[in-house]
Structure 1
Amino acid sequence: MATDAEIWALLYQAFASCPRPAHFTNYQHCCECFEHDQLLRSRDLETLAIADVGSPAWDPICFITPQGFAYYFPALARLALSAPDADWGWYGEQLFFHLVVDGSENRRWQFCTPQQRQAIAGLIEYLIETRTDLIEVNGCTEMAFDALEIWSAESP
């Protein structure tokens, strides 16, 4: 079985060609979108932390563009592969939410290349296999399998 580092390396490679967008949200829409954009613009793949994205009530990833999501996906995967944070908990549950949003109309799925979708599906499978207890204790088993179904599909 692969290791966390090997899974992350595959994801990093799959998303390496994704350019950093000038803006990550529709920053002119409202104050909240502007604030989330400012936060995401101040971070990169190494500095994005769970404190930045760990609150379901104030999560910039809910507002991120598909381009921004693809750019930041390796960082989000890094957070999901990390041990639960004492203040924020396990990021995997929130990542599953972001992967199932809009179901069959998932703009993030539509934006990603087949190689990127395959890498994400591999991450989900890996999390299901290696983080079973965390998935169960966080009550996100159904969401994890829904995410796997979406990202493993030929079409959303």
Structure 2
Amino acid sequence: MIAPVSLRERVLAELAAAFANVPRPVRFTAASHPGDDEREAREALLQRRGRDKLDLDDIAHPWDDPILSCTAPAKAWLLPTLARLALAQAPGGDWYAAQLVQVLYSGFSQNELYCFCNAAQRQAVAGWLGYLLEQEASRIDAHGLADEVLRCHALWSARPA
């Protein structure tokens, strides 16, 4: 007998399927200027860790999140992993989902990742955000993110004109 799939697993599987054809970027971050050691360190970390080995210790630093330096294609390639890590994090302390919502929402309709994604990818992201709103409401409230997550969900749920 096949074990039932949880809602969380289904949402993450839909996100992974929507982004499965995004190729691994040759370079994760925008080209750095000479002497930009921090950006090069972030690039090296992401090259070393990739999608399968990336963990919260690598990214859960609001003041130094390597994902903020990534190009839109790199964020798209990493997104299923980032979403999984955000949901896997135990309650208490900083919550990586808050950082990820910022990545998804910054610039609103001009957000580089939003503009990069196709309709199916946007729908999968909206599904993940909907899951957050329904299943993680207490953590959203505890982090004062309700308005931001609602606006982010509205953006990613919108049908292209």
8 Å CA contact 1:26, 1:34 repeated in 2: no
Structure-to-structure mapping, 1:39-54, within 5 angstroms? 39-54=45-60
Q: Deviations over 1:9-64 (max 9, x none)?
A: 11111110011111100242322211111111111222111111100100011111
Query: Distance in 2 between the 1:71 and 1:58 partners?
Result: 20
Q: For residue 127 of structure 2, what is the amino acid of its counterpart? A: G
Tell me the residue number matched to 2:128: 123
Is it true that 1:145 corresponds to 2:150 in the alignment? Answer: yes
Compute the RMSD of aligned alpha carbons. 1.8
Q: How many residues in Structure 1 have an aligned counterpart in Structure 2? A: 155
8 Å CA contact 2:28, 2:43 repeated in 1: yes
Shift in Å, 1:139: 1.1
Instruction: State the 4+ residue runs in structure 1 displaced beyond 4 angstroms.
Output: none
- The normalised TM-score by structure 2 is 0.89
Tell me the residue number matched to 2:105: 100
- Percent identity among equivalent residues? 34
Is it true that 1:61 corresponds to 2:75 in the alignment? Answer: no
Is it true that 1:71 corresponds to 2:64 in the alignment? Answer: no
Shift in Å, 1:81: 1.4
Q: Which runs of 5+ in 1 are unaligned?
A: none
Query: Distance in 2 between the 1:43 and 1:52 partners?
Result: 9
Q: Which of the two has higher C-alpha Rg?
A: 2
Query: Do the aligned partners of residues 58 and 118 (structure 1) sit closer, same or farther apart at CA in structure 2, a change above 3 Å counting?
Result: same
Structure-to-structure mapping, 1:16-27, within 5 angstroms? 16-27=20-31
Query: Do the aligned partners of residues 48 and 85 (structure 1) sit closer, same or farther apart at CA in structure 2, a change above 3 Å counting?
Result: farther
- The normalised TM-score by structure 1 is 0.92
3, 8, 14: which one aligns with 1:10: 14
